[in-house]
Amino acid sequence: MNKINDLVIKKNKLIGIVKLNFINLFIMLIFSVFGYKIYYLTAHNFFLNHQFIKFLEKLNFFWLSYQDYEEKAENLRNRNNIKKISYKISKEITQKIWNKDVKKNI
């Protein structure tokens, strides 16, 4: 049983750091050589260049951006609003069209 757990741990070589700075970068480069994926929440201003972030991704450094999650949440809110609006419109149209004469014919 322990061997199975060890295999799972070896497959998930992940390291998370709060802020990527020069010191962390050099230390984490050693881990990335050994196959670890490094995730960071924030970075030093020097590292906030789009090209440099893409370069870091090739070295298994990944930025956990809140913007990705905020956009998904905003899309979900918009979808829910569309459902509410479409329900109101369909209800209004039904009330305007549906009258006693139509009800008698059915």
Maximum CA extent, the chain: 81
What integer pLDDT is reported at residue 101 of this predicted model? 62
Distance of CA 75 to the CA centre of its chain: 12
Query: Domain limits of the chain?
Result: 1-64, 67-106
Give the helix/strand (H/E) hosting 52.
helix 50-58
- pLDDT interval class at 8 (50, 70, 90): very low
Average pLDDT of the chain?
75
- How, if at all, do strands 61-63 and 14-20 pair? unpaired
Q: Long-range contacts: 14-23, Cβ < 8 Å, 24+?
A: 14/38, 14/39, 15/39, 16/40, 16/41, 16/64, 17/41, 18/42, 19/43, 19/44, 20/44, 20/47, 20/61, 22/46
Mean pLDDT of 52-67: 84
Tens digits of residue pLDDT in 66-76 = 665 555 666 66
**pTM over cut 0.95:** no
